[in-house]
Every structure is written in structure tokens, then in C-alpha cells.
Structure 1
């Protein structure tokens, strides 16, 4: 595969916002839409994964969610501290927040409308998995298949991150922090949640962190996204209505969204298949990328074949 342009992203207007979109592959190929997680930009999708999916015959689209990267940052909207929001919720008072996860699901569909795409194989990681689940719930005719990676059903009794990771999620460098301090904090977070894959060097981790800091640093956007996750609560009842063929992928070593969350997600969606990757935590480790390409592409091809069968019989 030829290397992508230095900046493959273009701006697309949808749902009243501007989104940074990277759209590759034949226009008439089945589409895989990649949706990234909390506070994480679309550049976190590994190039070898994108190349692998393109080689499998797909058109591959990734985009920055609202409030992160090169998409619209909603600076003028509310961003109460998550602990304040949780404390208020316990006594029946919910501080106003900027948007809901359902709004972010509508963003994805609005992007499809703007790009003239009828339906997709939607693939979401972490919060992106939650958004993808809601696209399948709210817009079932737009989803050919669903792949939810290292995500959760949101059920209240599921285990959460350990104390160190929870503290990291709720903290951020000071506004006056230097670029190097921001990069160092990001590297610390990555190392805290990622699998210690020997194929990923410290230099590569630092380069990933630096690229994200330089491209679209917006910690308050990440806070607003976290509030949207908290406010969405349990999706268990909603997930019962998912009709799209569903694959759930989860890392056995995930300390941020423990494996029990992936198991419960698969159990909550009718007919969902669960794939557990032993050498994976809350990341897309280089050593497992080709395995993930095979899982995602195989699932999408199978869904497409099932769609073609009834059409051929008519």
C-alpha cells in the first residue's frame, strides 16, 4: 500500500459541526467506519490496520470525534468536573453537560449522510465502541455489521479501572504546562493502559503522544466526552434491540475497561460473538494488528455475504 498523504484528513460539515475525516479506498467498496475512544484522535488507528482493511477490499473511513483533534472543539459548552456530576446525580441533581453519547452517534450518521454513504460496517474502540453500539441501536438500517472493541455495555455492576488509572483519567496537566510535560503525561497514560508489546518502542510511544499533542490537544473536550459516557449509563436494555451481526473484541490484560465488560457486552447483544486477545490491554498492540484485521474483515465479509444471499434468492 502506498503511504497516505502527510495530512490525509479533510474537513466535512455534519450535524452542525466540522469533522476531520480520512477517507480511503474505492468509492464503490463496502465501507468500514472507524470510531475512536475517549479523548483520543483518529490518528490512533494504526496505519497497518488501515492498510490491512484496504487490502481486504474495503473503503476505510476514520474521523476525529467532536471536541478532539481537528474536529470542532466546543469550548463554550459546560464541562463540570466528573466527580461533581456524580455527586449531584446521587441526590437527583445533574449539572448540565454539553452533549450525550447519543449525539455523538448522530454525528457518525450525519457524516455518512454528508459523504453520501447508505450503510457501513462500524468499528469502535473504547468510547468509540459505545458510540458504535448506539449507532446500531438508533440507526439500525445504517449498520451492516458492528464491531465493538475494548468497550462496555455500561452496566452498573461491572468492574472499572484501578485507582492509578482512575486518578489519571480525572487529572490533566496544568494549562501552563510545557509541550514536553504534556507529552510526558500522555506517555505515562499510554504505558499505564497499554500492553507491553515488544514491537512498540518507547520512541514510538513518545512520537504517538507528540503527534496528538501537536495536532489537537483539548483536555476539556476529553472531560466533556467522559461526562457523556457517565451520563449515558447502562446500555443493556438498548443493546437487546441490536439486529446487526456483532463482533466483540477485548484484551485479556485490559486494566481500564476490564475483560468482564467485553464479556458482558457480548452477552447483552443478541447473537454477538466474543473474541478475547490474550496479548492486548486497552490499546491496539502492533503484534496483534494483523489478527485484528483478520477478525474485523472476516466479520464484515460474512455480514456482506449474508446480505447478498436473500438478494440473490429474490
Structure 2
């Protein structure tokens, strides 16, 4: 049964920070994981596309991290947009009882025993599709969400009509590695309060954004405050470590990517300090028939000057995949 997620306490309203609680719903999956999601309709008056698009976010990112301009463009194109909080993000299940990885384990890529995997997170997405009675979707994932989406497409090929993988990688340790400057930032002490979290978010966003598409500082302050309040504040650090452990526990997925049959668009910037561009190229090389779209000057952030451009790429890719399927069905 779909219900509204509980609203967390705080002074968000006084500061004009909309947590979007009126949009949040959640699904209780057979695995015991609760996934919080939003189901956004296409724009009124626009002919709706028959297949929804599901957006899967990256490391520690709750679903409202998807930029408004990106979502608006997809809605204007007639797409029904479904977003979700991955496990250990936002208002989905936080697995506090799981063993926490130490910094040494994270740096040495040695997850703790019993760590969940990217495959487990992919099954969360499939569970949500089952909950919504969706046989097939367009799937879009950024960063870790790209890894999750790739895994859904390789393990449940008939559920994915098209795949878009944005600044993600294959899990091969020889490609897509973060820059040393990024690792040093990730190793810093976790924020202890809301203001430290905002400062850390602004610093990391400025670092990741690339040279051509700079972030909107005022917008990013709102994003950081929303993320802190929806993500249970101090619980974010341990949750992020568990997600990093999931990536490490999943290893190299290159061979499985070769089983993807959905038309695939791989998008990567050439100034990405979190997932080096070699990760995007390796993803393209691993997925048969995929298309690689390099965006000059883009880093590891969907800024206000690139969000609609990226949405147009996703929209065109989704509609082209759907038309190809329709033409193939007519020939049978």
C-alpha cells in the first residue's frame, strides 16, 4: 500500500525550505526495505508518453537533488517521472544495525562483512516497479545511481526500455577513479550540525562542478538544508559509508554490462573529479551498441546551465527507444 511518508520536525518552513513532504510516498518491499518515492505526472495538456522514466540518484543523494530544470523539461516532454530515495538516503530505510565500515576499510576498498551490494540496491528499484505495477520503464541513473541502473538493465532486461547512465562507471578499479583532491575531501570529518553540512556541501559542489557549468550558490544552500533535514542529519555519514561499502562489495561489473540489451546512452563530462572520464568510456565500451555523449567542461554535478540540455538528451533517447520498439512490434 502507498502512503505518505512521515514529516520530520524542524524549522524548514520558517526558512522557506520546502522538504516536499506532500509529494513523498513510500513502498514497503518484501525484503523489508522501505523506499520513499515521488510520482510526478507530465505537464497538463501534454500528450503523455506511455512509459515512465525512473531517476536513480547517486551516493548519499536524496531524490530532490534532481534539478528542477531537469524535471520540468522531462514533464514538458510528456514523461511521467518517478524519483526515489535509495536505501540509506532521504526517507527510505536506514540500516543503522549494519556494521559500519572504518575509514581504513573504505580507503583500502575492503567493505565490512555482510555489506549490502549494488545488486541489492538494484532489487530495491525492481521492487518499487513491482509495487507500482510497472512492467517496463526508461531508467536514468547518475553516479552510483548509474551503477544501480546498469545492474537493473543487466539482471532484468525486459523491465528496461532504455537506459541512461550519467557520470558513472563499471566498477573496474583501473577506470573511473576519483582524483586525489576528491579523496581528501571525502576523508574529512563529517559535519556535526546543519551549518557545517551546508558549508561542506558548498565546498564539495564547487569542487565537483567542472569549469563550464558553475553551481548556483543560493540554490545549493537550499539543496543542502533539504538534504540534511530529509536525511536525518548526523545519520548521513554512516549511511554514506554503507553505500560506499556497497559499491566496493560489488566489484567489477564489466562482464555483466555486456548482457545489457536496452538502448543505452552514456553521458560524461571531461572535467569529472569524482568519476574520471575513463569510467564513462569503459561503460560505453562494455555495453553493446551504446552511445557516448561527452559534455565539455562538465564535472560531477548537474548545474543550472546543463540540466535542461541533459534532459533533452534523456527525452530524445527515451522516445527513440520507444519508437524503435513500436516499429519492431509492427514488423512481427
TM-score (norm 1): 0.91
Stretch moving more, 114-123 or 202-211: 202-211
**Shift of residue 28, structure 1, vs aligned partner:** 7.3
1:80 pairs with 2:96: no
1:245 maps to what in 2?
263
Unaligned runs of 5+ in 2: 1-17, 43-47
Q: Determine if contact 2:272/2:298 at 8 Å carries over to the other structure.
A: yes
Three-state SS of the structure 2 residue aligned to 1:65 is coil
Change in CA separation of 1:241 and 1:213 when aligned onto 2, cut-off 3 Å = same
**Shift of residue 156, structure 1, vs aligned partner:** 2.1
Deviation by residue 1:221-270 (Cα, 9 ceiling, x = unmatched): 11100011111111111111111110000011111111111011101100
Change in CA separation of 1:8 and 1:158 when aligned onto 2, cut-off 3 Å = same
Three-state SS of the structure 2 residue aligned to 1:286 is coil
- Residue pairs, 1:1-314, within 5 angstroms: 7-14=22-29, 15-25=31-41, 29-84=50-105, 87=108, 95-173=112-190, 177-196=192-211, 200-216=215-231, 217=233, 218-314=236-332
Three-state SS of the structure 2 residue aligned to 1:287 is coil
Unaligned runs of 5+ in 1: none
- The number of aligned residues is 306
**Shift of residue 102, structure 1, vs aligned partner:** 0.1
TM-score (norm 2): 0.86
Structure 1 ranges of 4+ moved more than 4 A: 3-6, 85-89, 196-199
C-alpha distance in structure 2 between counterparts of 1:36 and 1:189, whole Å = 17
Q: Determine if contact 2:62/2:90 at 8 Å carries over to the other structure.
A: yes
RMSD: 2.1
**Shift of residue 88, structure 1, vs aligned partner:** 8.4
**Shift of residue 100, structure 1, vs aligned partner:** 0.7
